[in-house]
Amino acid sequence: MDRIRVIGGNRLQGRINISGAKNAALPLMVASLLTDEPLELANVPHLADIASLTQILRQQGTTCSMSGHGSGADGRVLQLHTKKVTSTLAPYDLVRKMRASFLVAGPLLARCGEATVSLPGGCAIGTRPVDLHIKGLEAMGAAIELEDGYVHAKTKTGLKGARYVFPVVSVGATENLIMAAALAKGTTVLENAAREPEIVDLGHCLQAMGAQIDGLGTSTITIEGVTSLSGARHTVLPDRIETGTFLLAAAITGGAVDLVDTRADLVGALLPVLAAAGINVAETPHGLSVERNGARHLAVDVETEPYPGFPTDLQAQLMAFLATAEGTSRIKETIFENRFMHVPEMMRMGADIETDGQLATIHGVQRLKGAPVMATDLRASVSLILAGLGAEGETLVSRVYHLDRGFERIEEKLSAVGAQIERLKD
Ligand code: UD1
């Protein structure tokens, strides 16, 4: 298994191109199951999760081909075409690699009247059930049975529009139900729906395919079902988690970095946190620039929340930053119950952190010291790289396969702005 070696202490300086958002590209790819015409997605990031979903879609009968490279509207283009769905089964050995693959359930059910999808795997950050996906599809008339780790969903007369109120906000379940409702008979109203920019991006693509959707970006989304959808070309929005991660990487190292092909509104909850800690971030015509004013940054209190609140996917990276802040910070993780697995690893590097259930109290230390550490999930792995960039000496991060699921060429991007980082192949 590959490892990543970081020698800390270098100030990051230069320009980083932000890739397309993984969490938007995945549901957008699944949307190709809703139409027999080609769907073309530009700015698709080069990631293991994209490759895993491609495998699942191929099994369903989708032809997938990638062309071009780089980021932006003319960057990597993924052509998807599901002329005919050849299988409504998404098997365990493919689905277990990535939770987002459960998103095929709604579209398969809407287009073919049946779907058999394995219960998903993914990061070990909590129990992460799919009950809301299932209840929403049941509300739309699907008959669902759970057997041998598989969800068997069927509808004899097609899905019907329904009103569904989410008991908790769920990104994936909102996406699944929007896609199912796009081809259902009648009107679906989703209340307490998720408002993440990736859902808005998916909605825009579905609208370009002919779907009737209102209320994107609000907590009430109304979908008027149509009988068929067409193909479309869509550019994936910039990755806000990658954007936030590089803002924090620059801040940790006291660097000055320009982030290109991204937008300030996507990291709206991070910017006030950085400002309160003493980091200057400014909007530029192509993205954002970040600079630390030299002084030691300050402690801040943060709570993770569904969008537009502070994203759970930046919590571990923020903790790496706050580990060396002046004063005591508190982070409350409200989305996932087991998302402090990076804490013991950061403590191996000299961080002073206490956890009590969902709350972490971080007593800032002057400097972390490099150490061998282990990545436990996708966002935790990048937080350890960030901690290593600011630490004294060598940090060796093992189990970096998590990282390749969600960050495109991170060691290349960081070394191009002056980080001492390399991948050790085993
Ligand atoms: C998505 C993101 C992930 C991010 C998360 C929260 C993708 C591909 N992944 O994951 O990076 O960390 O949003 O912002 O977009 N829940 C249930 N029942 C369900 C579904 C969810 O109880 O049926 C719970 C989860 O366990 C969790 C919370 O709801 O506690 C939020 O999960 P959800 O928003 O669904 O996350 P994902 O869509 O899996």
pLDDT digits (tens, 9 = 90+) for 79-102: 999 999 999 999 998 888 888 999
Q: Which residues contact 418 (CB under 8 A, 6 or more apart)?
A: 10, 11, 12, 13, 14, 255
In the structure, what pLDDT confidence band is assigned to residue 125 with cuts at 50, 70 and 90? very low
Domain 22-235 in the same topology as domain 3-19+238-424: yes
Per-residue pLDDT at 73: 61
Q: Where are the domains of the chain?
A: 3-19+238-424, 22-235
Tokens representing 65?
A: 């081909």
Cα–ligand 1 centroid distance for 407 (angstroms):
19
Question: In whole numbers, what is the pLDDT of the chain averaged over residues?
Answer: 94
pLDDT digits (tens, 9 = 90+) for 208-229: 999 999 999 999 999 999 999 9
pLDDT digits (tens, 9 = 90+) for 330-363: 999 999 887 899 999 999 999 999 999 999 999 9
Cβ–Cβ under 8 Å, residues 114 and 88: yes
Tell me the C-alpha distance between 365 and 326, whole Å: 7
- pLDDT of 259 > 90? The answer is yes
Average pLDDT estimate for 220-243: 98
Residue tagged 């954007």 (tokens): 243
In the structure, what pLDDT confidence band is assigned to residue 409 with cuts at 50, 70 and 90? confident
Average pLDDT estimate for 170-197: 98
| Closest approach atom of ligand 1 to CA 134 | 23
Pick the residue whose CA is nearest to atom 15 on ligand 1: 23
- pLDDT of 110 > 70? The answer is yes
State whether the beta carbon of 171 lies less than 6 angstroms from ligand 1: yes
Per-residue pLDDT at 123: 46
State whether the beta carbon of 133 lies less than 6 angstroms from ligand 1: yes
- pLDDT of 127 > 60? The answer is no
State whether the beta carbon of 310 lies less than 6 angstroms from ligand 1: no
Predicted structure pTM score: 0.96
- Taking Cα atoms as reference points, which of 417, 406, 423, 422 lies closest to residue 45? 406
C-alpha dihedral sign at 97, 99, 104, 109 = positive
Cα–ligand 1 centroid distance for 249 (angstroms):
25
- pLDDT of 266 > 60? The answer is yes
More confident residue, 191 or 146: 191
Pick the residue whose CA is nearest to atom 35 on ligand 1: 170
State whether the beta carbon of 26 lies less than 6 angstroms from ligand 1: yes
- Taking Cα atoms as reference points, which of 87, 97, 88, 62 lies closest to residue 152? 88
Rounded-to-10 torsion of CA 172, 221, 144, 152? -40
- pLDDT of 408 > 90? The answer is no
Element at 281 (helix H, strand E): strand 279-284
- Taking Cα atoms as reference points, which of 310, 252, 255, 245 lies closest to residue 277? 252
Cβ–Cβ under 8 Å, residues 19 and 232: no
- pLDDT of 74 > 80? The answer is no
Strand partners, 214: 222
- Taking Cα atoms as reference points, which of 175, 174, 189 lies closest to residue 225? 189
- Taking Cα atoms as reference points, which of 162, 212, 211 lies closest to residue 191? 162
Which CATH number applies to 22-235? Answer: 3.65.10.10
Percent of residues, the chain, with pLDDT higher than 90 = 85
- pLDDT of 68 > 80? The answer is no
User: Which of 99, 128, 242, 338 most suits a substitution to test ligand 1, by most atoms within 8 Å of the C-beta?
Assistant: 128
Tell me the C-alpha distance between 116 and 270, whole Å: 39
Tell me the C-alpha distance between 205 and 52, whole Å: 22
Pick the residue whose CA is nearest to atom 3 on ligand 1: 313
| Closest approach atom of ligand 1 to CA 27 | 8
Q: Which fold has domain 3-19+238-424?
A: UDP-n-acetylglucosamine1-carboxyvinyl-transferase; Chain (3.65.10)
- pLDDT of 298 > 90? The answer is yes
State whether the beta carbon of 404 lies less than 6 angstroms from ligand 1: no
| Closest approach atom of ligand 1 to CA 130 | 23
Cβ–Cβ under 8 Å, residues 262 and 289: no
Cβ–Cβ under 8 Å, residues 130 and 166: no
Cα–ligand 1 centroid distance for 220 (angstroms):
18
Tokens representing 171?
A: 């990104």
In the structure, what pLDDT confidence band is assigned to residue 128 with cuts at 50, 70 and 90? low
Cα–ligand 1 centroid distance for 241 (angstroms):
15
Pick the residue whose CA is nearest to atom 4 on ligand 1: 313
Cβ–Cβ under 8 Å, residues 292 and 251: yes
pLDDT digits (tens, 9 = 90+) for 45-65: 999 899 999 999 999 999 999
Q: Which residues contact 195 (CB under 8 A, 6 or more apart)?
A: 217, 218, 219, 306, 307, 308
